[in-house]
């Protein structure tokens, strides 16, 4: 006679970086390494696996989804990363990251784009 046993549940580990928070027209909240109050974007890995952001993009232009590329920065589960939207264009692992654009206080698109450059 056959007997069936239920398998233990399986959990798929997934990295899930998202834009958690951002600030346009920053005048006093968070200064960069040069003491300047640039706009900033906070990325959060809400998944349960580390993600290497190499090849991911940030953009403020729906027509250019690969405007600024992340370096090979690893974001652990539950970890946050601040990227300054300062137009200084700095992408070196282990140093403060700066996009090649600023945020508009009047509003504009803002996207975190996967390495495929489309999603």
Instruction: Indicate whether 7 pLDDT > 60.
Output: yes
Whole-number pLDDT of residue 39:
96
d(C-alpha 8, C-alpha 69), whole Å: 40
pLDDT at 107: 86
- pTM of the predicted model as reported, rounded to 2 decimal places: 0.86
From residue 65, how far is each of 8, 9, 22, 48, 76 by CA, in Å? 41, 38, 18, 26, 24
The whole-number pLDDT of residue 5 equals 66
Q: What is the pLDDT of residue 15?
A: 72
pLDDT at 13 over 90: no
Question: Six-digit token pair at 71?
Answer: 């370096």
**CA-atom Rg of the chain in angstroms:** 18
Local structure of 74: helix, strand or coil: strand
- CA 39/CA 76 separation, integer angstroms: 24
Q: In what order do the strands lie in the sheet with 111-113?
A: 68-69, 57-59, 111-113
| pLDDT, tens digit (0-9, with 9 covering 90-100), for 38-92 | 999 999 999 999 999 999 999 999 999 999 999 999 999 999 999 999 999 999 9
Dihedral (CA of 115, 93, 60, 66) sign: negative
Residue 18 in this model has a pLDDT that exceeds 90: yes
């Amino acid at each position: 006679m056959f007997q069936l046993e239920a398998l233990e549940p399986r959990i798929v580990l997934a990295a899930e970086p998202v834009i958690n928070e951002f600030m346009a027209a920053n005048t006093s909240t968070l200064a960069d390494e040069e003491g300047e109050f640039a706009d900033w974007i906070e990325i959060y890995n809400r998944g349960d696996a580390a993600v290497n952001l190499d090849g991911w993009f940030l953009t403020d232009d729906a027509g250019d989804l690969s405007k600024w590329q992340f370096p090979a920065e690893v974001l652990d589960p539950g970890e946050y990363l601040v990227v300054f939207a300062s137009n200084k264009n700095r992408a070196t692992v282990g140093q403060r990251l700066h996009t090649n654009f600023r945020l508009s206080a009047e509003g504009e698109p803002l996207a975190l784009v996967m390495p495929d450059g489309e999603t």
